[in-house]
Amino acid sequence: MLLLVRHAMPLIDPAADPADWPLSAAGVTAARALAGVIPAGALLVASDEPKAGQTLDPDGSRPVRRDRRLGEVRRSEAFSDDFRLARRSYVSGSEITGWEPREQVALRFGAAVRDAAAHARALSRDAVICSHGLAMTVWLSEAVFLGDPGEFWAQLRFPDLLAVDLAARSMRRLETS
């Protein structure tokens, strides 16, 4: 089984690079609840951003492999209150200058998923992958087809847990609490 996780709520600091944000207190609480839903013994793989690794291992007691290819969409984006507009436009198909092309995101993310899934199969384990909303949405748009990627992205939760069946090109949301 492949489980895809959107990270829990980070501690937002406008002065820091979002790639360096850790989880907020509420995020840690939500990550602990999520840990109870993750299959025992699963192979845990996260992007190299702290909030992703902490979502899979909020207490520092579980081994989590890091894979930079699972990182968020690379972009130059000013911190602002209207960030949702540009992000939703991007996942819906608009090209934004200074943002990583969606095709590149889908390729790197897909390669990381394939590698994690193969490693998990070799170990006879489930794969649990934690990443970020934009990158996940771009990849899922290609992997399982999302009718409205912008709406899907807008409805993602912190954290969110999705069971993905690549062979059937389908996914379903699982409850985390």
177 residues of the chain, pLDDT tens digit each: 899 999 999 999 989 999 999 999 999 999 999 999 999 999 999 999 999 999 999 999 999 999 999 999 999 876 677 789 999 999 999 999 999 999 999 999 999 999 999 999 999 999 999 999 999 999 999 999 999 999 999 999 999 999 999 999 999 999 887
pLDDT for res 83 = 84
Tokens representing residue 167 in the block: 């062979």
Taking the C-alpha atoms of residue 43 and residue 117, their distance in angstroms, rounded to an integer, is 9
**What is the span of the domain harbouring residue 56?**
2-174
DSSP 80: -
Residue 35 buriedness (CB in 10 A; 0-12 / 13-18 / 19+): middle
From first CA to last CA, the distance across the chain in angstroms is: 20
Taking the C-alpha atoms of residue 96 and residue 35, their distance in angstroms, rounded to an integer, is 36
Contact 10, 21 (CB under 8 A): yes
CATH number, domain with residue 70: 3.40.50.1240
Cross-strand partners of 172: 163
Q: At what angle do helices 133-143 and 83-91 cross, to 10 degrees?
A: 20
DSSP 88-100: HHHHTT---TTB-
Domain count across the chain: 1
Taking the C-alpha atoms of residue 162 and residue 43, their distance in angstroms, rounded to an integer, is 16
Quick check: pTM over 0.85?
yes
pLDDT for res 150 = 97
